[in-house]
């Protein structure tokens, strides 16, 4: 009887210790996850602090990925967002809001120390590739919007009618360009007909049209 009782007590003690160890492991994992969340949420530098000031302009459909000085150009700021949730229409509308807010905070605010910098906005994890806006400066006509096959030309004209430089993978109809007001440069990754070129030049007489092979198709070949 005594031996049996002792064995039962040993088993109970072992079970208790096992549960305590499991509890400690779970607590450590949960704490690690929470700390990682805090690190991810906490601005890593002055630029990210600035981006968080207009978080309501991109949340919840986009989440800040990072914001930092470009490694290749110390006068350029790269701000990267990743797809979070929401419909494509929601995200498309937010891209314009992000663009306007970034310009205002970094380039147009008289107290900003980045007024002479340029901005690059990257939008990632969007099928097939996220759009990006580069060469953003106080000069309204410097920015170039690259759709990368994600953003339709028609939608681009809807949300960015005033942009002057675009790079598009394709367009469904030449009249997709009718919504633009001031195009100065168009890069298209497909051959276009003489009629389409003439139509574009009738809309934008001073526009430069550049036709290039699709870099993705070239890489596949």
Angle among Cα 95, 97, 102 to the nearest 5 degrees reads: 95
Sorted by where each begins, the domain ranges of the chain are 1-42, 45-220
At 78, which helix (H) or strand (E)? Answer: strand 76-83
pLDDT at 2: 54
pLDDT at 36: 44
Question: What is the residue-averaged pLDDT of the chain?
Answer: 81
Q: Residues 9-32: pLDDT tens digits?
A: 545 565 666 556 656 566 555 444
Please report which confidence band the pLDDT of residue 33 belongs to, taking 50, 70 and 90 as the band edges: very low
| Average pLDDT over every residue of 58-63 | 86
User: Which of 53-57, 101-105, 143-147, 207-211 is the least confident region?
Assistant: 53-57
Give yes or no for residue 117 having a pLDDT over 90: yes
CB contact set of 65 (below 8 Å; sequence gap of 6+): 80, 81, 82, 122, 124
Which of the two residues, 44 and 8, has the higher pLDDT score? Answer: 44
Q: Residues 153-207: pLDDT tens digits?
A: 988 999 999 999 999 988 889 999 999 999 999 999 888 999 999 999 999 999 9
pLDDT at 23: 63
| Average pLDDT over every residue of 43-70 | 86
pLDDT at 16: 65
User: Which of 39-48, 93-102, 123-132, 181-190 is the least confident region?
Assistant: 39-48
pLDDT-above-70 percentage for the chain: 74
| Average pLDDT over every residue of 111-119 | 93
pLDDT at 21: 65
pLDDT at 221: 42
pLDDT at 83: 82
Please report which confidence band the pLDDT of residue 142 belongs to, taking 50, 70 and 90 as the band edges: confident
- On the CB side of 62, CA atoms within 13 Å amount to 34
Q: What DSSP assignment string belongs to 124-192?
A: ES-SS---EEEEE-SSTT--EEE-TTTS-HHHHHHH-TT--EEEES--S-GGGGGG-S---EEEESS--
């Amino acid at each position: 009887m005594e031996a049996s009782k002792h064995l039962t007590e040993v088993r109970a003690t072992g079970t208790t210790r096992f549960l305590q160890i499991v509890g400690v492991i779970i607590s450590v994992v949960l704490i690690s996850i929470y700390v990682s969340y805090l690190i991810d949420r906490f601005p890593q530098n002055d630029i990210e602090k600035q981006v968080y000031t207009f978080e309501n302009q991109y949340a919840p459909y986009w989440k800040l990925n990072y914001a930092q000085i470009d490694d290749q150009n110390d006068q350029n700021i790269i701000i990267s967002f990743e797809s979070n949730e929401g419909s494509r229409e929601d995200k498309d509308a937010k891209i314009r809001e992000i663009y306007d807010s970034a310009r205002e905070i970094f380039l147009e605010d008289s107290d900003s120390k980045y007024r002479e910098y340029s901005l690059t906005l990257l939008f990632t994890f969007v099928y097939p590739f996220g759009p990006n806006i580069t060469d953003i400066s106080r000069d309204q006509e410097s920015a170039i919007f690259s759709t990368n096959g994600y953003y339709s030309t028609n939608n681009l004209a809807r949300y960015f009618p005033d942009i002057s430089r675009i790079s598009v993978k394709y367009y469904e109809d030449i009249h997709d360009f009718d919504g633009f007001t001031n195009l100065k440069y168009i890069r298209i990754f497909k051959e276009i007909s003489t009629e389409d070129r003439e139509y574009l030049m009738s809309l934008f007489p001073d526009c430069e049209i550049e036709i290039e092979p699709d870099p993705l198709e070239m890489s596949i070949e």
